[in-house]
Amino acid sequence: MFKTIEWTDEGVRMIDQTRLPAEEVYLTCRDYQEVAEAIRSMVIRGAPAIGVAAAMGIALGVKKSAAKSLKDLRAEFETMCDTISKTRPTAVNLFWAVKRMRGAFEDFLTSGGYLGKVPEDASDLDRVALMIPRDGSEADMIVALKSRMVVEAQRILAEDIAINEAMGRHGAALLPEAGTILTHCNAGALATGGYGTALGVIRAAVSQGKAIQVFADETRPFLQGARLTAWELAKDGIPVTLITDNMAGHFMKQGQIQAVIVGADRIAANGDTANKIGTYTVAVLAHENRIPFYVAAPLSTIDLSLSCGDQIPIEERSQREVTHLKGVAIAPQDVPARHPAFDVTPHRYLTAIITERGIAREPYTESLKALFTA
């Protein structure tokens, strides 16, 4: 199985998703600016994967820093966080990850680098993070802080995979014993640290013995469904059929789709969900055809600071991604095009939101908030 993203001694290694499915090639980013560019250019994409990349980018920046004082390192750290935060605006996981790295950085400094006794059940990673001398020199502190940042980023990756598996366990029960599930975009192993959110639920259902096949929307204009979802499901031996985005209604009306499951980039407190452009259309069609429509997303995708979906910033990407396919014009030269990369599905179209802590249903304002305290 491929690794979407991993930490290596050379840098942050990721599968280049712009080159799939034609080529399975890996790119190693050697500084945080390269990680930022990989996020911006969608070498790595998908909300949770963007979060992991953001954390690893910051860890790489800190590790590579030549700062001689903690004051200088903190100033550089702020620039790193700022650069990473400006790559893509919609997936809140990116800002969540930056906040978490900032928290680890500040905790380290306020605790003087000594984070307490090593608990019995600490993992190897935890041990590295915890075994830091109390009275080190500033140079020692910088060395220790660097490893603390790397450990935090690696933890975020490991946690993400475990979260997806938990989401799979909760969500699989919602899928039928047999049937066809429609998905939009790619919310799989490629979009996360591994396993996937929406595709993780499908993977869990299949591993429980359910006879599930997947219809994958191609997902114009970036073709995440055709290029990525079809690729990773086929690699996993899960039956997948590719359809163009405008076919979903037809198959629903014919009774050929039993449920829809998608991921999310940001979920507001009332359940309104930003996901890949076209998701709203699919949700309305599912509602019209009385087909359950599920969103699978970790708590790090839920933004309780926004009361509703109108407040979610929607990334507008290059027109060229609409007018050209692999550099070839598919529209008249100079015709204006629009490219909002995401849309917002109002919560009334959602049957349920699947998270690692369980299933949320209407009223989402209460059920989502409750998950954070569960």
The first and second tokens of residue 216, run together, are 């994958």
Does residue number 224 form part of the binding site for ligand MRU (CB under 6 A)?
yes
CB of 184 to ligand MRU, least distance (A): 7
Does residue number 275 form part of the binding site for ligand MRU (CB under 6 A)?
yes
Name which of 145 and 350 has its Cβ closer to ligand MRU: 350
Which among 21, 24, 11, 92 has a CA at the least distance from the CA of 56?
A: 11
Does residue number 46 form part of the binding site for ligand MRU (CB under 6 A)?
yes
The first and second tokens of residue 28, run together, are 């190693």
Q: Could you tell me which stretch among 53-61, 229-237, 256-264, 323-331 binds ligand MRU (CB under 6 A)?
A: 256-264
Q: Could you tell me which stretch among 29-37, 61-69, 134-142, 189-197 binds ligand MRU (CB under 6 A)?
A: 189-197
Site string for ligand MRU, 8-27 (x = CB under 6 A): --------------------
CB atoms within 10 A of CB 44: 28
Rounded distance between C-alpha atoms, residue 190 and residue 196, angstroms: 7
CB atoms within 10 A of CB 79: 11
Output the DSSP codes for 237-252: T--EEEE-GGGHHHHH
- Residue of 160, 217, 265, 303 marked active site: 265
- Choosing from 84, 91, 156, 166, the residue that interacts with ligand MRU (CB under 6 A) is 91
Q: Please, what is the end-to-end C-alpha distance for the chain in angstroms?
A: 33
Name which of 145 and 167 has its Cβ closer to ligand MRU: 167
Burial status of residue 319 (CB atoms within 10 A of its CB: 0-12, 13-18, 19 or more): middle
Name which of 46 and 57 has its Cβ closer to ligand MRU: 46
CB of 101 to ligand MRU, least distance (A): 20
Q: How far is CA 242 from CA 42, 130, 239, 276, 294, in A?
A: 22, 48, 10, 17, 20
Count of residues that interact with ligand MRU, criterion CB under 6 A: 18
Q: Could you tell me which stretch among 137-145, 186-194, 244-252, 360-368 binds ligand MRU (CB under 6 A)?
A: 186-194
User: Furthest-apart CA pair in the chain: how many Å?
Assistant: 71
Q: Return the active site residues.
A: 265
Binding site for ligand MRU (CB under 6 A): 45-48, 91, 185, 187, 191-192, 197, 224, 262-265, 275-276, 341
